[in-house]
A and B are shown apart, each in its own frame.
Chain A
Amino acid sequence: MSKKTLLNSKDIEIILHRLACQLIENHNDFSDTVLIGLQPRGTFLANRLAKLLTTSYGIKNLQLGLLDITFYRDDFRRKDTPLAAETTQMNFLIENKKVVIIDDVLFSGRSIRAALTAIQSYGRPENIELLVLIDRRFSRHLPIQPNYRGRQVDAINEEKVLVTWNETHKKDAVYIESL
């Protein structure tokens, strides 16, 4: 098994700033926009972006939700081990809001499909966008593409993209692992 660094902490910091600026271009003061991080791993990216937007770019009253999609997944009962749910923290409705779904890696698109269904439980948004740190091209099972991407990667299916965060692994980095 080999492990190659795709992004180091400096790269990730630059990318986060770029993504924050792109969001501001489209959403201005975020008064009609909500950010939704997908549990479990998308929440780290969502929290980082929310912090950056608030502290570095002066966005006030940013609404951030954390959404668990376990009950909406299409691989329920197809896994060897049962799916355990994570916490959902959505203290607002998304009726007529602009929603930005945030996840770390876009691979098959099935998680995003589940998230699109889950989001309907909180109202009818005006529109939904997708932001991912890593977009794995050529691996999609569904017609889903991100609106904002940190880095596009052409990895074969036997390779795994691993994102680590300071909060969990003491290091911001993205690796490609060959199995």
Chain B
Amino acid sequence: MSELSVEHLLGIKYLKPNDIDVIFKTADHFKEVINRPIKKVPSLRDITIANLFFENSTRTKLSFELAEKRLSADVINFSAAQSSVKKGETLIDTVNNILAMKVDIVVMRHSNVGAGVFLSKHVNAKIINAGDGTHEHPTQALLDSYSIREKLGSVKGKKIVIIGDILHSRVALSNIFALQLQGAEVKVCGPTTLIPKHISSLGVTVETNLKKALEWCDVANVLRVQNERMDVKYFPSTREYTQLFGINKEILDNLGKKIVIMHPGPINRGVEITSEVADSHDSIILNQVENGVAVRMAVIYLLAQQIKR
């Protein structure tokens, strides 16, 4: 099977293992394309894509835009800060106005959980969720798994620990779904206050001791502390957080084994991870960024194949 079982990419929880295989195989081809001297294919020259970012983003927005342009799609960008949303326009009205401009695919980031699902029920376009609140960020999880597969050969059977602010992280939730779907073992590690109460119902184990978590894992996916989502104090001080959950070279050297270091960015250097670790040979952070374009090209290409004229 070389087609997706879903009509939109709203979250990893809607995907089947075969969907991930199809996306990764297609991404392999696009990775070859983006390493050519001319990094562009004409596949989507009759497709128009709207990037609707109701919440701030740098790398995801750039990555999507680059992926779309490398597929030769027409791209329009929208950011809420400079839009009529500020004047009180509803989400449906905003999107319908954009769709009236004959848009085929909508890539949307929104601060509200389920915004993508809501949109997919009300508008006639393919929807790609680029992050909905603290819920899901499916393309980030796909590119993370793709990067693990590239580095270690397979995701199946690998032990992966997600470290940091699990409570506010859509990356964590999508990663848990994606990694388990591919047969990996997942653990989360962070301050008790930043770990959701019912996380074990997702089949993951919790570890509050960073050293033990690192000794157990093959891959450490380090998350950013999302201060902007914290309405109350979740830990006494940044200094204390860094002492207990920050990854530095000394901790890694004492492990007696090599582990792969990942981070979805943006990095708070010196807080959740030191520069020495982030820029080391064990880190695949920049590979994640490169793979992000290939994986997003694959997702867009596969969804666009379902659009019939």
User: A-side interface residues toward B, CB under 8 Å?
Assistant: 68, 70-72, 76-77, 81-85, 87-88, 90, 93, 117-118, 120-123
**In contact, A93 and B37 (Cβ under 8 angstroms):** yes
On chain A, the residues within 8 Å of B25 by CB distance are: 84
Q: Give Cα distance in the complex from A173 to B37, angstroms.
A: 38
**In contact, B29 and A81 (Cβ under 8 angstroms):** no
**In contact, B32 and A77 (Cβ under 8 angstroms):** no
B302 contacts partner chain A, Cβ-Cβ < 8 Å: yes
Residue from the list B38, B43, B302, B309 in contact with A71, Cβ < 8 A: B43
B26 contacts partner chain A, Cβ-Cβ < 8 Å: yes
Residue from the list B29, B71, B304, B309 in contact with A68, Cβ < 8 A: B29
15 A-B residue pairs with CB within 8 Å = A70-B29, A71-B29, A71-B33, A71-B43, A71-B71, A72-B43, A76-B305, A81-B2, A81-B3, A84-B25, A88-B29, A93-B37, A117-B42, A121-B36, A122-B38
**In contact, A77 and B307 (Cβ under 8 angstroms):** yes
Given contacts A72-B43, A77-B308, A121-B36, contact A85 B26 (CB under 8 A): yes
Q: Give A52 Cβ to nearest chain B Cβ, in Å.
A: 28
Residue from the list B3, B39, B71, B309 in contact with A82, Cβ < 8 A: B3
On chain A, the residues within 8 Å of B211 by CB distance are: none
B61 contacts partner chain A, Cβ-Cβ < 8 Å: no
User: Residue of A at shortest CB range from B29?
Assistant: A85
Name 14 extra pairs, CB < 8 A, besides A71-B41, A120-B38, A122-B38.
A71-B29, A71-B43, A71-B301, A76-B305, A77-B305, A81-B3, A82-B305, A87-B29, A117-B42, A121-B36, A121-B38, A121-B41, A122-B36, A122-B37
Q: Give Cα distance in the complex from A145 to B42, angstroms.
A: 24
B158 contacts partner chain A, Cβ-Cβ < 8 Å: no
Q: How large is the interface on B (under 10, 10 to 19, 20 to 34, 35 or more residues)?
A: 20 to 34
User: Residue of A at shortest CB range from B72?
Assistant: A71
The 6 closest A-B pairs by CB, nearest first: A71-B41, A84-B2, A121-B38, A85-B29, A82-B305, A82-B3
On chain B, the residues within 8 Å of A122 by CB distance are: 36-38
User: B-side interface residues toward A, CB under 8 Å?
Assistant: 2-3, 25-26, 29, 32-33, 36-43, 71, 301-302, 304-305, 307-309
On chain A, the residues within 8 Å of B308 by CB distance are: 77
On chain A, the residues within 8 Å of B32 by CB distance are: 87-88
User: Residue of B at shortest CB range from A70?
Assistant: B29
User: Most chain-B Cβ atoms within 10 A of its Cβ — which of A84, A85, A88, A118?
Assistant: A85
User: Residue of A at shortest CB range from B33?
Assistant: A71
Q: Give Cα distance in the complex from A76 to B71, angstroms.
A: 12
Q: Give B294 Cβ to nearest chain A Cβ, in Å.
A: 12
On chain B, the residues within 8 Å of A121 by CB distance are: 33, 36-41
Q: Give Cα distance in the complex from A165 to B129, angstroms.
A: 46
User: Residue of A at shortest CB range from B41?
Assistant: A71
**In contact, A123 and B37 (Cβ under 8 angstroms):** yes
Given contacts A71-B33, A77-B309, A121-B38, contact A82 B43 (CB under 8 A): no
User: Residue of A at shortest CB range from B298?
Assistant: A85
Q: Give Cα distance in the complex from A83 to B309, angstroms.
A: 16
Q: Give B46 Cβ to nearest chain A Cβ, in Å.
A: 9
Q: Give Cα distance in the complex from A51 to B39, angstroms.
A: 31
Q: Give Cα distance in the complex from A121 to B37, angstroms.
A: 6
**In contact, A83 and B305 (Cβ under 8 angstroms):** yes
User: Most chain-B Cβ atoms within 10 A of its Cβ — which of A87, A121, A122?
Assistant: A121
Q: Give Cα distance in the complex from A82 to B2, angstroms.
A: 7
Q: Give Cα distance in the complex from A18 to B73, angstroms.
A: 44
**In contact, B40 and A76 (Cβ under 8 angstroms):** no
